[in-house]
Amino acid sequence: GNVIFVDKNHVAIIAGLRIDPESGRPRFLIIANFDTSSPQSLELPPPHASGVKLSDQLSSTRIEWDLKGTLIELPPGGVGVYRIEYS
């Protein structure tokens, strides 16, 4: 398939990377917090290269996807849709 789940069996979050079939690299990260009463967070695995950014498609903000890992925090019932940008 073209989705790799990265939620590490989190009890409240589902997160997946959508893989571009042409390049074989992740192009989108989609993440959802199924806990409707508490915020939740997920530590993303390191990207495969440096200089990778997550462009939030819902708020137009950008996050550096650090080689040491990146923490994504979601409000109760929150979702995130991020386009993965390579430099």
Assessment of whether the complete model's pTM goes beyond 0.75:
yes
pLDDT by residue (tens digit) across 7-65? 999 999 999 999 999 999 999 999 999 999 999 999 998 888 888 999 999 998 999 99
List own/partner pairs for 43-52 with CB under 8 A and 24 or more apart: 43/8, 43/69, 43/70, 43/71, 44/6, 44/15, 44/69, 44/70, 44/71, 44/72, 45/6, 45/69, 47/84, 49/86, 51/86, 51/87, 52/84, 52/85, 52/86, 52/87
Look at residue 75 in the predicted model and tell me its pLDDT: 98
Tokens of 13: 């979050």
